[in-house]
Amino acid sequence: MKFATELIHGTAPIDPEHGSLSHPIYLSSTFAQGSMEHFGKYDYSRSGNPTREALEEAVAGLEKGAVGLAFASGMAAISSTLLIFAPGDHLVVCEDVYGGTFRALTTVLKNWGLNATFVDATDTAAIAAAIRPETKALYLETPSNPLIKITDLKGAAALAKEKGILTIVDNTFMTPYLQRPLELGCDIVLHSGTKFLNGHSDVLCGFAVAKDPAVGQRIRFIQNAFGAVLGPQDCWLVLRGLKTLKVRMEEHQASAKLIVSWLKEQKEVAKIYYPGLPEHPGYEIHNAQSSGPGAVLSFELSSYEVTRKLLEGVKLSAFAVSLGGVESILSYPAKMSHAAMPPAEREARGIKDTLVRLSVGLEDPEDLIADMERSLR
């Protein structure tokens, strides 16, 4: 099936009992057993639930993985996945990683004994130089958050395989519609499903998808042991959201391109970060591994005062955290997604106090442009 057809017919099969086109929501916390010797497929919803399983299989199928697991948030998926490693292990991580991941790695997981080295992952040689004997995985985002840096996934995955380590990729910005890291040689894909996969700003959720069933079972063990699972009602909402992923991403992306073209003409805009621009570093690599630039872009403004004026002046784009909803969202990384990163660390990574991130929604792009134009006057 083509991707659009798979979204409709492959992600939520027709209910075999009653023919319902909408997958049933199994709200039960526990399941009765008929035999002391042979338990049924489900016993307790932390360990497995039919609605959650349908969603997990759907996301795994879209990413072309063997095992998919649904969690209560993106950070629950990320943290649970990182718990497959042991104290004393080491990770090589892209330097402008999402702030929540940075916080988990530099506090909770560091205190537990998992170590991380942050590198410029656009440079495969820098990744190679950071690998130690105790390194167990590469942790990458491409495009990265919020500077939209591009990592060569094939090159990084080949390096990891040569060293006998895993490659983990946060694919939240691209979704499996635009980029499928497992097909490029990577081992684990992570998502904040709160964003584009669900797409309506009404569910917190996260996903981990493993290419190797054995790796998937290691994450499944952590999922069951720690219990940060996604509830069945939220699973059903995401199953519904997935059906429109292709049409939403196409519209998001088309509008983003128009807005970027407008931003290029604005004297108050000092720099634009968007992989659809030929001058964007990594443009050719991104085109080789993805089928589009996506709907998230960042830009620097001419001053802090202009930045404040835009963020506090817009009426259509929400000034808020998060991304990937039907509403456009303007975020301020320094005090939002990367607030957990110390100011000196942010500055060293190029995350300036004049940097704004825009997730383009499904409004008419001309209205969004007019709204920003009024705020920049």
The CA distance from 143 to 141, in Å, is: 6
Helix (H) or strand (E) holding 311: helix 304-313
Helix (H) or strand (E) holding 210: strand 206-210
Q: What residues form DSSP beta bridges with 167?
A: 138
Strands 329-331 and 318-319: parallel
Half-sphere exposure of 57 (CA within 13 A, CB side): 14
The CA distance from 271 to 14, in Å, is: 49
Contacts of 253 (CB under 8 A, 6+ apart): 178, 292, 293, 294, 295, 360
Helix (H) or strand (E) holding 358: strand 355-359
Q: How far, in Å, are 18, 110, 133, 287, 316 from residue 153 at the CA level?
A: 44, 26, 22, 12, 36
Nearest to 179 by CA among 147, 150, 158: 150
Q: What residues form DSSP beta bridges with 104?
A: none
The CA distance from 84 to 90, in Å, is: 12
For residue 126, the one-letter residue type is A
The length of the chain is 377
Q: How far, in Å, are 174, 241, 244 from residue 5 at the CA level?
A: 19, 14, 11
The CA distance from 339 to 365, in Å, is: 29
Q: Supply 63's token pair.
A: 């990413």
3-state secondary structure at position 206: strand
The CA distance from 57 to 375, in Å, is: 44
The CA distance from 313 to 373, in Å, is: 10
User: Would you please indicate which residues are annotated as catalytic (active-site) residues?
Assistant: 46, 98, 170, 195
Strands 206-210 and 188-191: antiparallel
